[in-house]
Amino acid sequence: MGQVGNSRGALGIILVTIFLVALMGAAFATTTPVDTTPPVITVPASMTLEAASSAGANLAYFNVTVTDNVDSPFNYSNIICGDTTVSNATPSSWSGDVFSFANHWAFPIGTTTVACNAIDFARNSSSASFTVTVVDTTPPVITVPTVLDTEATSSSGAVVSYAPPTATDLVDGSDVVTCNYNSGDTFALGTTTVTCNATDAAGNAAIPVTFRVNVVDTTPPVTTVGGNYPNWTQFGQTITLTCSDVNGAGCASTHYQLNSGGDNIYTTPIVISTDGLYRIDFYSVDNNSNSETVQTVYVGVDQIPPVVSVPADITAEATSASGAVVTFSADATDDVLRNPIVSCSPVSGAVFLIRTTTVTCHTSDSAGNADYKSFSITVRDTTPPSITAPADVVQDASAYLNSVVLGSPRVLDLADASPQVLNDAPALFPIGETSIIWTATDASGNFATATQKVTITNNPIDINGVNVNYLGSLNAFVSEDNNSVNDTNALVALKDLTIVSNGSSVFIPAGTEIRKSDGSNIDASALIADGNVADSLSGLAIGYAVDGALKWGLPNLELSFDPAIQLSIWVGTALNGTTLDIQRSTSGSGGWTNDGILQATCVVTNGFCDFNAAKASYYAVLTYTAPVPQSSGGRSSIAGRLINTSAPTGTNTVVPPINNPLVNNPPTNNVTLPAENAQSGNGNGSNTGTSNEATGPTGLFGLGADQSSAGLFGLGTGPAGFIPMLIALLAACMVLIAKVRVDSGKKRK
């Protein structure tokens, strides 16, 4: 209700206000007078301005006077002026009824009308106008260059170039300048006045301007020398002097002096015919009195040639295959010149080949007089090469005659890069020392020698008779006829051989030829078979004493030895001091003879019977009853000397043959070794037994079968037995939850 009351009160106030305003308007309408008189506007008189640029001229300001019978002072905002470019401009300042337009008005060349208008408060208006005329009456201004003096380049003067004159204008900017001479014209020698004019587009003519161009001659003339100058001559000199003044007024005179004599005016050529060196000084003067700087030339006359001096013939030793560097000196003398230059071919310091070379030396004087002399340089090679033989060679014999790699000598020669190298080495080398002469000969026939020694060693072979077959791998024998050693007419012992067997020893000197007595071919493989078998060399050490004789030989094989072999047969120490006949058998059971035995008897010493034999044959098979145990000791005779003093032990006097000596070879049957790391419980060395099978811990009730524990109740392997309990617990939980829901439902009902 309060709000309704407020609204109604406000509406009443508004209605009252409207009513009062209406009453006041009616009151004013009945009391304000009417204004129908326009204001009076006064503008400047028409005016003329001088153009300041091609844009025209600027008017700084103008004043307009406005009066009104009602509006006083007149409102400045109701006054506007404008032209073709400016519209509705208002005054920039005022004082009373005078209004100033200070906008720096720009007026183009020509006449422009400025119109102004004033409106009073009653909307009464009046207007006025004036004209502004812009004219161009200012002439252009000419600027000319300052030209320096120019040197004449010919008798006509010189071409002179300068910056062209210019004309500037307030309106045109620049105007064309015309002159009576232009830059680049040829100006005569002297002073030339240049006059220039210009007119702008409005027809205003510039004030003419002048400047001067000076062409001067300050260059002296030039004198040219003619004739054979500056050379020497053998036939005299004729010298001409020619003056030239192409830049000036021409030559006036030419002057000269000969060998610092008096001044002469040149009119005719200067002729010199006597030997000597002459100095000529000269200069010229032109018609402007310009004088040339004095010039000097030298001319010579020489009719006598120089004399060359060369050394005597030279002999030099070559220092390389290219020859040798040879130096020499040659000089010359001349009646006019001092120390004339001498040139030689080939030059000093050049490399001269190994031969005789002719050197020619030449000199000449400035007049062309020349002299030649020659001499010879002989480069020879008399130095022999340097040769170093290869290192001496020492190698073990592998054959009766041996192939040897000698190597290459080191050969140097100053003059021959590849001297000829020869040696006197045989194709094959025998056992022992051989001297080889190496010879190096250079291209000049100089030679040098060096010696190399080749030694083929004969290292003795000591071997047990039971291992006599090792002689094959040691290359103990070679074939005499270069056939196979297993089928040849004779075998040759390559090295000293000592065979120890049954306590006895046999020494076969190197080079011994071994043949079958019947002339048939011999087989080395049978000869060096192991043990006391037929045809084996191991049987050579078998012998026994009986009835005052040493019975000795080989089973089944009759051999001859050249030279004889040396034997030391064990017969026992009980026979020491006993003299024994030495016999061999010509058959398997008898025919005992000492043929081929170089000593028919021996005196037993230390249990051994020593002798030399050229033949070996069958030993007889005898009966004996007292075998003596044999030790592994014995002695060997190398080159006829005892080298082992230990002897087998025994007391009996009869030493039976041992047909089956012990074999020292390792067993050939496989040996079964015990199995390692056996873990089985059955004790058979196997690790696969059954009584102690490796297993892991069992389950809780002994039902587990692997290394992991069985289920909680032994219902399987691993942790799987726990599943039924989980299922039961889950089922119980679900039942409990269902029951809770049912109970809850009942409570709600």
Side-chain half-sphere CA neighbours of 730 within 13 A: 6
Higher pLDDT, 294 or 652: 294
* pLDDT attached to residue 24: 53
Same fold, 40-135 and 141-216: yes
Proportion of the chain above pLDDT 70, given as a percent: 76
Give the phi and the psi of residue 17 in degrees, each rounded to 5: -60, -45
Is 249's pLDDT higher than 80?
Answer: no
Over range 630-652, report the average pLDDT: 32
Whose structure tokens read 């208006």? Answer: 125
pLDDT band at residue 697 using 50, 70 and 90 as cut-offs: very low
Residue 231 pLDDT > 80, yes or no? Answer: no
pLDDT at 629 over 60: no
Q: What is the pLDDT of residue 235?
A: 81
User: What one-letter code names the amino acid at 502?
Assistant: N
Indicate if the pLDDT at residue 628 is higher than 50: no
**What is the CATH T-level fold of the domain 141-216, as seen in this structure?**
Immunoglobulin-like (2.60.40)
CATH of domain 386-455: 2.60.40.10
pLDDT tens-digit map of 381-414 = 999 999 999 999 999 887 778 899 999 999 999 8
Q: Higher confidence at residue 683 or residue 116? A: 116
Distance spanning both ends of the chain, measured CA to CA: 56
Q: Is the pLDDT of residue 237 over 80?
A: yes
Q: Where are the beta strands (DSSP E) in 40-157?
A: 40-42, 47-50, 57-59, 62-67, 79-82, 93-95, 98-101, 105-107, 110-119, 125-135, 141-143, 150-151
- CATH code at 307-380: 2.60.40.10
pLDDT mean over 74-102: 86
Q: What pLDDT, in 10s, does the model give residues 108-128? A: 999 999 999 999 988 999 999
644 has a pLDDT exceeding 50: no
For the beta carbon of residue 646, count every other beta carbon within 10 angstroms: 12
pLDDT number for residue 551: 85
Residue 486: pLDDT band with limits 50, 70, 90: confident
Q: What is the mean pLDDT of the chain?
A: 78
Q: Can you tell me the distance from the alpha carbon of 268 to that of 285, in angstroms, rounded to the nearest whole number?
A: 17
Q: How confident is the model at residue 480 (pLDDT cuts 50, 70, 90)?
A: confident
CATH fold for domain 40-135: Immunoglobulin-like (2.60.40)
Q: Domain residue spans in the chain?
A: 40-135, 141-216, 222-301, 307-380, 386-455, 461-642, 708-749
* The model's pTM: 0.39
pLDDT grade, residue 25 (50/70/90)? low
The per-residue pLDDT for range 165-221, each reduced to its tens digit, is: 999 998 988 899 999 999 999 998 889 999 999 999 989 999 999 999 999 988 899
Q: Please, which pLDDT band fits residue 663 given cuts at 50, 70 and 90?
A: very low
* Domain 222-301, CATH class in plain words: mainly beta
